[in-house]
Amino acid sequence: MSSVFVTGCAGFIGSHLCERLLEEGFDVIGIDNFDDYYDRRIKERNLINLLNKRNFKFIEADVRDSKTVENMLEKRSIVIHLAARPGVRASIKHPKLYFDVNVRGTMILAEKSVKKEVEQFIFASSSSVYGTSQLPFKESLPADKPLSPYASTKRCCEILLHSISNCYSLPVTCLRFFTVYGPRVRPDMAIYKFAQAIREQKDVILYDGGRLKRDYTYISDAVEGILKAMKRRFAYEVFNIGSGRPIEIRYLVKLLEENLGRKAKIRVRPKPKEDMPATHADLTKAKNLLGYSPRVFIEDGVRKFLEWFLKTQAELPEP
Ligand code: NAD
């Protein structure tokens, strides 16, 4: 069995993925630089279930450190590249940083992957590449008008990887994730911020009165999508990984209110221009070519998220 090299292993999706890969019997090498986008201690806690595992090796390093990447990347391994500067809104303040981490980081990793004859390169892309494309989003759409610097870095990476795959025969699969949520979700994500605000009776900011739509994907479905993608090799393909069941954000707030037993103090604001009005994954291609089929409904996912949220609130490090 090939070893798997996971970048961004201390993050939300990365830590869940590594746990699952170890359960499946893979040897995993994880790399993360504890980027300061959110508190390092949260990421260290994400690694707790991994660090004592025999088949897991952790390296604290930056994917832009090409020497370390070259030393740690094993020949003919599988690379799953999740490390990135995430967040649509924050990217507006630091576009150059986003391009450096996301695009240059991907370039360096791809170059080393070619050198090490990597069996497969799986890239974490994003539904944000679709901008205001026609719904539901199909992979065949041009996706040439992303709305934020973050979204454009993801689209740049997809295009860059296409040329690398073509010129150097690196098999590449790009997975466009749609708003992934669940235990250990990033603290900057709406579901986390809303839950915290409702619990502390602070304002919940709802853009456009909560009418924006998001295709919420539960973490176990997103991880399953990655596992399914690992089973198939393509010269280059792009897949949507979503739930295919978009909801209005105000429905998410309603679910949180019901489960927390408290009303939200809602403040309505206009939609920021970098935000997409709606996302909706067309899953036909992922179903047909990968056998991907999401299982978790939002009502169950929110309950599971809140179980974790309430348990960990008390243990969270002071800001
Ligand atoms: P996350 O921030 O929790 O995880 C990313 C990890 O990458 C972090 O632990 C961070 O420290 C690490 N990292 C950042 N820069 C690095 C660098 N230069 N070198 C090494 N490590 C670095 O984010 P996440 O939500 O788990 O997202 C994982 C990936 O999936 C990202 O590429 C993100 O853009 C993409 N994605 C996520 C979602 C979502 O809803 N969570 C949706 C679409 C795409």
Q: Is 183 in the pocket of ligand 1 (CB under 6 A)?
A: no
Cα separation, 206 vs 194, in Å, equals 9
**pLDDT value for 271:** 95
Nearest to 8 by CA among 25, 30, 26, 29: 30
Token code pair at residue 14 = 């990365």
Q: What is the reported pTM?
A: 0.98
Give the distance from CA 283 to its chain's centroid. 17
Question: Residue 147 belongs to what H/E stretch?
Answer: none
Nearest CA to ligand 1 atom 33: 86
**pLDDT value for 313:** 87
Nearest CA to ligand 1 atom 12: 8
Mean confidence (pLDDT) of the chain: 97
Q: How many angstroms does the Cα of residue 234 sit away from the middle of ligand 1? A: 24
Nearest CA to ligand 1 atom 25: 12
> Is a pLDDT exceeding 90 seen at residue 317?
no
Q: Is 84 in the pocket of ligand 1 (CB under 6 A)?
A: yes
Nearest to 135 by CA among 15, 56, 245, 9: 245
Cα separation, 256 vs 305, in Å, equals 10
**pLDDT value for 78:** 98
> Is a pLDDT exceeding 90 seen at residue 318?
no
Q: How many angstroms does the Cα of residue 237 sit away from the middle of ligand 1? A: 21
Cα separation, 152 vs 313, in Å, equals 34
Nearest to 195 by CA among 247, 250, 260: 260
pLDDT tens-digit readout, 6-25: 999 999 999 999 999 999 99
- Residue 314: pLDDT band (50, 70, 90) is confident
Question: Residue 79 belongs to what H/E stretch?
Answer: strand 78-81
Q: Is 34 in the pocket of ligand 1 (CB under 6 A)?
A: yes
Segment 32-51 mean pLDDT: 97
pLDDT tens-digit readout, 223-265: 999 999 999 999 999 999 999 999 999 999 999 999 999 999 9
Q: Is 46 in the pocket of ligand 1 (CB under 6 A)?
A: no
Share of the chain above pLDDT 70, in %: 99
pLDDT tens-digit readout, 98-116: 999 999 999 999 999 999 9
Nearest CA to ligand 1 atom 6: 8
Q: Give 137's DSSP letter.
A: B
Pocket probe for ligand 1: among 16, 85, 109, 126, the residue whose CB has the most ligand atoms within 8 Å is 126
Pocket probe for ligand 1: among 6, 7, 13, 252, the residue whose CB has the most ligand atoms within 8 Å is 13
Q: Is 221 in the pocket of ligand 1 (CB under 6 A)?
A: no
pLDDT tens-digit readout, 161-201: 999 999 999 999 999 999 999 999 999 999 999 999 999 99
**pLDDT value for 316:** 62
- Residue 2: pLDDT band (50, 70, 90) is confident
**pLDDT value for 250:** 98
Nearest to 28 by CA among 2, 52, 47: 2
Active site members: 150
Measured from the Cα of 14, ligand 1's closest atom is: 26
